[in-house]
Amino acid sequence: MPLVVVPTPLGNLRDITLRALDVLRDAELIVAEDTRVTRKLLYALGIGTKEIWSYREQNAAAVTPGILERAAAGLVVLVSDAGMPAISDPGSDLVGAARAAGIAINVLPGPSATLGVAVLSGFPLRRFTFEGFPPRAASARRRAFREALAGHATTIWYESPQRIREALADLGAIAPDARVFLVREYTKHYEQQILGSPEAVAAALADPIRGEIAFAVAPYEIEAEPREATGGDIDARIDRLLDEGRSVSDIAKALVEAGAGERRDLYARVSERKRRRGVSVPLAEDQAR
Protein backbone atom coordinates (compact mmCIF):
# COMPACT_ATOMS: atom_id res chain seq x y z
CA MET A 1 0.00 0.00 0.00
CA PRO A 2 1.23 3.54 -0.62
CA LEU A 3 1.97 6.57 1.47
CA VAL A 4 -0.24 9.25 -0.08
CA VAL A 5 0.67 12.93 0.27
CA VAL A 6 -2.54 14.98 0.32
CA PRO A 7 -2.49 18.80 0.11
CA THR A 8 -5.09 20.51 2.29
CA PRO A 9 -6.79 23.88 1.72
CA LEU A 10 -4.77 26.97 2.58
CA GLY A 11 -7.89 28.73 3.80
CA ASN A 12 -10.87 28.12 1.53
CA LEU A 13 -12.29 24.63 2.13
CA ARG A 14 -13.63 24.50 -1.42
CA ASP A 15 -10.05 24.17 -2.65
CA ILE A 16 -10.03 20.51 -1.57
CA THR A 17 -10.10 18.16 -4.57
CA LEU A 18 -12.59 15.32 -5.06
CA ARG A 19 -9.70 12.87 -5.18
CA ALA A 20 -8.31 14.21 -1.91
CA LEU A 21 -11.72 13.68 -0.27
CA ASP A 22 -11.78 10.07 -1.49
CA VAL A 23 -8.30 9.35 -0.13
CA LEU A 24 -8.99 10.98 3.24
CA ARG A 25 -12.18 8.93 3.61
CA ASP A 26 -10.35 5.68 2.78
CA ALA A 27 -7.28 6.38 4.92
CA GLU A 28 -6.51 3.85 7.63
CA LEU A 29 -4.10 6.28 9.27
CA ILE A 30 -3.57 10.01 8.80
CA VAL A 31 -0.20 11.52 9.69
CA ALA A 32 -0.50 15.21 10.57
CA GLU A 33 1.64 18.05 11.85
CA ASP A 34 -1.04 19.23 14.31
CA THR A 35 -3.71 16.62 15.04
CA ARG A 36 -6.12 19.27 16.34
CA VAL A 37 -6.04 21.20 13.06
CA THR A 38 -6.53 18.02 11.05
CA ARG A 39 -9.47 16.82 13.17
CA LYS A 40 -11.22 20.16 12.63
CA LEU A 41 -10.59 19.88 8.89
CA LEU A 42 -11.98 16.33 8.70
CA TYR A 43 -15.17 17.34 10.50
CA ALA A 44 -15.55 20.43 8.32
CA LEU A 45 -15.25 18.22 5.23
CA GLY A 46 -17.83 15.79 6.58
CA ILE A 47 -15.37 12.93 7.03
CA GLY A 48 -15.53 12.63 10.80
CA THR A 49 -13.30 10.58 13.07
CA LYS A 50 -10.06 8.99 11.82
CA GLU A 51 -6.97 7.61 13.48
CA ILE A 52 -4.42 10.45 13.41
CA TRP A 53 -0.79 10.38 14.46
CA SER A 54 1.26 13.47 15.14
CA TYR A 55 4.44 13.84 13.06
CA ARG A 56 6.70 16.79 13.86
CA GLU A 57 10.37 17.56 13.73
CA GLN A 58 10.55 16.92 17.48
CA ASN A 59 9.12 13.37 17.36
CA ALA A 60 9.98 12.27 13.82
CA ALA A 61 12.73 9.84 14.81
CA ALA A 62 10.46 8.08 17.32
CA VAL A 63 7.33 7.71 15.18
CA THR A 64 8.75 7.16 11.68
CA PRO A 65 9.29 3.37 12.05
CA GLY A 66 5.69 2.88 13.16
CA ILE A 67 4.35 5.01 10.31
CA LEU A 68 6.35 3.04 7.74
CA GLU A 69 5.12 -0.23 9.23
CA ARG A 70 1.52 0.93 8.87
CA ALA A 71 2.14 2.19 5.32
CA ALA A 72 3.52 -1.20 4.31
CA ALA A 73 0.22 -2.82 5.29
CA GLY A 74 -2.44 -0.19 4.63
CA LEU A 75 -3.29 3.26 3.28
CA VAL A 76 -1.46 5.99 5.19
CA VAL A 77 -2.08 9.65 4.31
CA LEU A 78 0.31 12.52 5.06
CA VAL A 79 -1.17 16.00 5.44
CA SER A 80 0.10 19.36 6.66
CA ASP A 81 -1.80 22.07 8.50
CA ALA A 82 -2.37 23.83 5.16
CA GLY A 83 -1.14 23.36 1.62
CA MET A 84 1.31 20.85 0.18
CA PRO A 85 3.07 18.68 2.78
CA ALA A 86 6.89 18.52 2.70
CA ILE A 87 7.31 22.12 1.46
CA SER A 88 9.21 23.83 4.32
CA ASP A 89 7.69 21.03 6.37
CA PRO A 90 9.13 17.99 8.19
CA GLY A 91 7.04 15.70 5.97
CA SER A 92 9.87 15.73 3.42
CA ASP A 93 11.90 13.50 5.77
CA LEU A 94 9.03 11.04 6.05
CA VAL A 95 8.71 10.82 2.27
CA GLY A 96 12.46 10.19 2.04
CA ALA A 97 12.27 7.47 4.68
CA ALA A 98 9.36 5.80 2.88
CA ARG A 99 11.29 5.88 -0.37
CA ALA A 100 14.31 4.28 1.30
CA ALA A 101 12.07 1.57 2.78
CA GLY A 102 10.65 0.68 -0.63
CA ILE A 103 7.15 1.95 0.15
CA ALA A 104 5.17 3.31 -2.80
CA ILE A 105 4.46 7.05 -2.64
CA ASN A 106 1.71 9.03 -4.34
CA VAL A 107 1.43 12.82 -4.28
CA LEU A 108 -1.92 14.42 -5.08
CA PRO A 109 -1.95 17.84 -6.76
CA GLY A 110 -3.45 20.66 -4.80
CA PRO A 111 -3.04 24.05 -3.09
CA SER A 112 0.41 25.59 -2.82
CA ALA A 113 1.22 29.10 -1.57
CA THR A 114 4.58 28.84 -3.33
CA LEU A 115 3.09 28.55 -6.79
CA GLY A 116 0.24 30.89 -5.95
CA VAL A 117 2.46 33.85 -5.09
CA ALA A 118 4.79 33.04 -7.99
CA VAL A 119 2.01 33.23 -10.57
CA LEU A 120 0.23 36.18 -8.94
CA SER A 121 3.45 38.21 -8.96
CA GLY A 122 3.64 38.43 -12.74
CA PHE A 123 7.44 38.12 -12.42
CA PRO A 124 9.42 35.98 -14.91
CA LEU A 125 8.94 32.29 -14.10
CA ARG A 126 10.82 30.50 -16.86
CA ARG A 127 13.22 29.82 -14.00
CA PHE A 128 12.56 30.53 -10.31
CA THR A 129 13.69 29.27 -6.91
CA PHE A 130 11.83 28.53 -3.71
CA GLU A 131 13.97 29.69 -0.77
CA GLY A 132 11.66 28.86 2.15
CA PHE A 133 11.97 30.89 5.35
CA PRO A 134 14.87 33.36 5.60
CA PRO A 135 17.26 32.88 8.54
CA ARG A 136 16.26 34.59 11.77
CA ALA A 137 19.53 36.43 12.40
CA ALA A 138 19.83 39.71 10.47
CA SER A 139 23.35 39.08 9.16
CA ALA A 140 22.49 35.56 7.98
CA ARG A 141 19.23 36.84 6.47
CA ARG A 142 21.02 39.50 4.43
CA ARG A 143 23.53 36.94 3.25
CA ALA A 144 20.71 34.59 2.20
CA PHE A 145 18.97 37.35 0.24
CA ARG A 146 22.23 38.35 -1.43
CA GLU A 147 23.06 34.77 -2.43
CA ALA A 148 19.53 34.15 -3.74
CA LEU A 149 19.42 37.36 -5.80
CA ALA A 150 22.80 36.51 -7.32
CA GLY A 151 20.99 33.69 -9.18
CA HIS A 152 19.23 36.29 -11.39
CA ALA A 153 15.88 34.49 -11.10
CA THR A 154 12.60 35.16 -9.34
CA THR A 155 12.79 33.94 -5.75
CA ILE A 156 9.89 32.83 -3.54
CA TRP A 157 9.99 33.13 0.24
CA TYR A 158 7.84 32.43 3.29
CA GLU A 159 7.98 34.54 6.44
CA SER A 160 6.14 34.82 9.75
CA PRO A 161 4.09 37.94 10.55
CA GLN A 162 6.39 38.59 13.52
CA ARG A 163 9.52 38.86 11.34
CA ILE A 164 8.29 40.15 7.98
CA ARG A 165 9.19 43.80 8.65
CA GLU A 166 12.73 42.87 9.65
CA ALA A 167 13.06 40.62 6.60
CA LEU A 168 11.90 43.36 4.23
CA ALA A 169 14.25 45.85 5.90
CA ASP A 170 17.20 43.52 5.37
CA LEU A 171 16.18 42.90 1.77
CA GLY A 172 15.90 46.65 1.24
CA ALA A 173 19.36 47.19 2.72
CA ILE A 174 20.97 45.17 -0.08
CA ALA A 175 18.39 45.63 -2.85
CA PRO A 176 16.44 48.87 -2.20
CA ASP A 177 14.88 48.98 -5.67
CA ALA A 178 13.92 45.31 -5.83
CA ARG A 179 10.37 44.53 -6.95
CA VAL A 180 8.56 42.58 -4.25
CA PHE A 181 5.13 40.98 -4.44
CA LEU A 182 3.69 39.90 -1.10
CA VAL A 183 0.55 37.90 -0.38
CA ARG A 184 -0.88 37.73 3.11
CA GLU A 185 -3.61 35.22 3.95
CA TYR A 186 -3.66 33.70 0.45
CA THR A 187 -7.12 32.27 -0.46
CA LYS A 188 -8.65 33.55 2.79
CA HIS A 189 -11.31 36.20 3.39
CA TYR A 190 -8.84 38.96 4.25
CA GLU A 191 -6.30 38.17 1.54
CA GLN A 192 -3.96 41.09 0.85
CA GLN A 193 -1.72 41.55 -2.21
CA ILE A 194 1.05 44.18 -2.24
CA LEU A 195 3.49 45.10 -5.00
CA GLY A 196 6.39 47.53 -4.61
CA SER A 197 9.85 48.07 -3.20
CA PRO A 198 10.76 46.37 0.10
CA GLU A 199 10.15 49.64 1.94
CA ALA A 200 6.81 50.28 0.22
CA VAL A 201 5.56 46.75 0.87
CA ALA A 202 6.48 47.00 4.55
CA ALA A 203 4.67 50.35 4.81
CA ALA A 204 1.49 48.82 3.35
CA LEU A 205 1.27 46.18 6.07
CA ALA A 206 -1.02 47.32 8.86
CA ASP A 207 -0.15 46.61 12.50
CA PRO A 208 -0.59 44.15 14.03
CA ILE A 209 0.41 41.91 11.13
CA ARG A 210 -1.50 38.63 11.15
CA GLY A 211 -1.72 35.52 9.01
CA GLU A 212 0.45 33.48 6.68
CA ILE A 213 2.82 35.39 4.40
CA ALA A 214 4.57 34.50 1.15
CA PHE A 215 6.45 36.89 -1.09
CA ALA A 216 8.25 36.90 -4.42
CA VAL A 217 11.27 38.97 -5.42
CA ALA A 218 11.79 39.71 -9.12
CA PRO A 219 15.22 39.12 -10.73
CA TYR A 220 17.59 41.81 -9.49
CA GLU A 221 21.12 42.84 -10.37
CA ILE A 222 22.75 42.64 -6.99
CA GLU A 223 25.96 44.55 -6.37
CA ALA A 224 29.02 42.49 -5.57
CA GLU A 225 29.43 41.86 -1.87
CA PRO A 226 32.04 44.15 -0.38
CA ARG A 227 35.45 42.55 -0.05
CA GLU A 228 36.10 41.35 3.46
CA ALA A 229 38.58 43.63 5.15
CA THR A 230 41.99 42.18 5.98
CA GLY A 231 43.90 42.88 9.14
CA GLY A 232 46.02 45.40 7.24
CA ASP A 233 42.94 47.17 5.94
CA ILE A 234 41.50 47.44 9.45
CA ASP A 235 44.76 48.77 10.90
CA ALA A 236 45.04 51.36 8.13
CA ARG A 237 41.50 52.56 8.84
CA ILE A 238 42.23 52.68 12.56
CA ASP A 239 45.30 54.84 11.89
CA ARG A 240 43.26 57.23 9.72
CA LEU A 241 40.60 57.59 12.40
CA LEU A 242 43.20 58.08 15.12
CA ASP A 243 44.76 60.81 13.00
CA GLU A 244 41.35 62.50 12.96
CA GLY A 245 41.41 62.56 16.76
CA ARG A 246 38.60 60.01 17.20
CA SER A 247 38.34 58.19 20.53
CA VAL A 248 38.99 54.47 20.87
CA SER A 249 35.30 53.88 21.62
CA ASP A 250 34.12 55.85 18.56
CA ILE A 251 36.56 54.03 16.28
CA ALA A 252 35.48 50.61 17.59
CA LYS A 253 31.83 51.53 17.05
CA ALA A 254 32.50 52.70 13.49
CA LEU A 255 34.33 49.47 12.68
CA VAL A 256 31.49 47.37 14.09
CA GLU A 257 28.97 49.25 11.94
CA ALA A 258 31.19 48.59 8.93
CA GLY A 259 31.06 44.87 9.65
CA ALA A 260 34.74 44.57 10.58
CA GLY A 261 34.14 42.35 13.61
CA GLU A 262 32.93 42.20 17.20
CA ARG A 263 33.13 45.33 19.38
CA ARG A 264 35.20 43.79 22.18
CA ASP A 265 37.84 42.49 19.74
CA LEU A 266 37.94 45.75 17.79
CA TYR A 267 38.19 47.85 20.96
CA ALA A 268 41.21 45.84 22.02
CA ARG A 269 42.74 46.18 18.55
CA VAL A 270 42.25 49.97 18.45
CA SER A 271 43.65 50.32 21.97
CA GLU A 272 46.75 48.32 21.06
CA ARG A 273 47.19 50.29 17.85
CA LYS A 274 46.98 53.53 19.79
CA ARG A 275 49.56 52.33 22.34
CA ARG A 276 51.99 51.35 19.57
CA ARG A 277 51.76 54.89 18.24
CA GLY A 278 52.96 56.09 21.63
CA VAL A 279 49.62 57.39 22.82
CA SER A 280 48.16 56.10 26.07
CA VAL A 281 44.51 55.10 26.23
CA PRO A 282 42.65 57.27 28.79
CA LEU A 283 41.41 55.38 31.84
CA ALA A 284 37.78 56.31 31.12
CA GLU A 285 38.04 54.77 27.69
CA ASP A 286 39.76 51.67 29.01
CA GLN A 287 36.99 51.18 31.57
CA ALA A 288 34.32 51.72 28.90
CA ARG A 289 35.42 48.49 27.28
pLDDT computed for residue 237 by the predictor: 86
Between vectors from CA 136 to CA 133 and to CA 137, what angle results, nearest 5°?
140
pLDDT computed for residue 243 by the predictor: 82
* Long-range contacts of 221-226, Cβ-Cβ distance < 8 Å, separation of 24 or more: 221/152, 222/146, 222/149, 222/150, 222/174, 222/175, 223/174, 225/146, 226/259
For every one of its 289 residues, what pLDDT tens digit does the chain have, with 9 covering 90 and above? 789 999 999 999 999 999 999 999 999 999 999 999 999 999 999 999 999 999 998 999 999 999 999 999 999 999 999 999 998 888 999 999 999 999 999 999 999 999 999 999 999 999 999 999 999 998 899 999 999 999 999 999 999 999 999 999 999 999 999 999 999 999 999 999 999 999 999 999 999 999 999 999 999 987 655 545 566 678 888 888 888 888 888 888 888 777 777 888 888 888 888 888 775 555 444 444 4
Spatial distance between the Cα atoms of 188 and 212, rounded to a whole number of angstroms: 10
pLDDT computed for residue 277 by the predictor: 75
pLDDT computed for residue 279 by the predictor: 56
pLDDT computed for residue 225 by the predictor: 56
Q: Where are the domains of the chain?
A: 3-107, 113-217, 231-288
3-107: which CATH topology?
A: Cobalt-precorrin-4 Transmethylase; domain 1 (3.40.1010)
Note the pTM of the prediction, 2 decimals: 0.73
Amino acid present at 125: L
Q: List, in sequence order, every beta strand (DSSP E) within the chain.
A: 3-5, 29-32, 52-54, 76-78, 105-107, 128-132, 154-159, 180-184, 192-196, 213-217
Q: List, in sequence order, every beta strand (DSSP E) within 15-163.
A: 29-32, 52-54, 76-78, 105-107, 128-132, 154-159
113-217 architecture in CATH?
A: 2-Layer Sandwich (3.30)
pLDDT computed for residue 283 by the predictor: 47
